[in-house]
Amino acid sequence: MIKTRVSELLGIEYPILKGGMVWVSNSRLTAAVSNAGGLGVMGIGAMDLDTFDKELRALKGMTDRPFGVSCPLIRPDYEVMLNAALERGVNIVVTSAGNPAKVNKMLLDAGVIAIHVVANVKMAKKVEDLGYHMLVAEGFEAGGHNGRDELTTFTLVPQVVDAVRIPVIAAGGIADARGMVAAFALGAEGIQMGTRFVATKESPVHENFKMAIINAGDTDTTITGRAFNDPTRVIKNDFTEKIIDAERKGVDPVKILEMIGSDRTYIGSVKGDMDNGSLMSGQVAGMIKELKSVEEVIKDIISGLAPVVNRISGTLVSRPDGGTD
């Protein structure tokens, strides 16, 4: 067990969370993360109530460990979905992409552990003031919907840690033990990973999408949606080229949104259309070279921590006799 306020509050072995990714974070992947000692978080952003019910039952059948659900507050009926989660006894809730003041009372009254995803210091302070128990500080390198301020994990995490007293979970750019140690160096007490869990055996996405992550190089992600204030990090393809070209030419955002249409993430993630789909992925895709099971991902990170810490300790910390470890 790794004891931090994050793992203790959540009742988990390792302070490693899975992001609540739309079309990815289903019951199976969520259970796999919880069973491996982390916190599985089921993304209910694209589910209707029936699907949620089925998935929640499936999830409870696959794990008796703690798990959470995640709901973006831009979803019009977020209140319906959150209420449904609370009524069904979910006791860890992650909110994102919207104003946490709309739901904090509901969550706190229900007695759940409430976590909000933030991308700048102002929102972090607000989340703390609203009574949330912890927060995820997500950097610009992260996949999917992204903060408009473009603060990176390296600069966001320590500034958030300095600004609040509640525990901070770092997200964006983390896929291995080096990243977890770096996040802790910056003051985080937990990490959240998204892209690394997309490329696992238990992940429900199309094999094409998994292989696109495995094969991606360092420069193979980009940001779409800057022009209409919804920056989203995805893998570069024909679709992103068209959108970014239109954004660059100053095409009316309404027209660009028409070009995008709906279901792009579904088309990419589930249907596996690598040319016309939107494939949410972080910059960290370039570091992910192998399809692993969720258990392998987490075990490899945990067993990799001591070597990384010992390497930096041996280099950076002098012994009293003047040598280094």
CA gap 152, 208 in Å, rounded? 28
Instruction: Sort residue 249 into left (φ over 0), alpha (ψ -120 to 50) or beta.
Output: alpha
Nearer to its own copies, 8 or 79 (CB): 8
Q: How far is the CB of 140 from its own copies (least distance, A)?
A: 6
Q: Which residue has the tokens 């069973």?
A: 35
Strands (E), 150-295: 168-171, 190-193, 221-224, 232-235
Would you give the binding string for its own copies spanning residues 3-42, x where CB under 8 A is met? xx--------------------------------------
Check binding of 229 to its own copies (CB under 8 A): no
Check binding of 187 to its own copies (CB under 8 A): yes
Nearer to its own copies, 23 or 184 (CB): 184
Question: Which of 65, 91, 154, 276 is close enough to bind its own copies by CB under 8 A?
Answer: 154
Question: Which of 10, 39, 59, 151 is close enough to bind its own copies by CB under 8 A?
Answer: 151
Closest CA to 126 of 92, 101, 159: 101
Length of the chain as a residue count: 325
Closest CA to 184 of 163, 166, 161: 161
Check binding of 270 to its own copies (CB under 8 A): no
Partners of 134 in the β-ladder:
115
Closest CA to 200 of 273, 296, 123: 296
Instruction: Provide the pairing of β-strand 232-235 with 144-145.
Output: antiparallel
Check binding of 97 to its own copies (CB under 8 A): no
Nearer to its own copies, 154 or 266 (CB): 154
Question: Which of 87, 249, 261, 262 is close enough to bind its own copies by CB under 8 A?
Answer: 249
Nearer to its own copies, 57 or 122 (CB): 122
# binding residues, its own copies (CB under 8 A)? 62
Check binding of 218 to its own copies (CB under 8 A): yes
Question: Which of 32, 121, 169, 298 is close enough to bind its own copies by CB under 8 A?
Answer: 121
One-letter identity of residue 46: A
CA gap 115, 9 in Å, rounded? 11
Q: Which residue has the tokens 């989340």?
A: 127
Query: Where do contacts with its own copies occur on this chain (CB under 8 A)?
Result: 2-4, 120-122, 139-141, 149-156, 158-159, 162, 172-174, 176, 178-187, 189, 217-219, 223, 227, 248-251, 282-284, 286-287, 305-306, 308-313, 315-318, 324
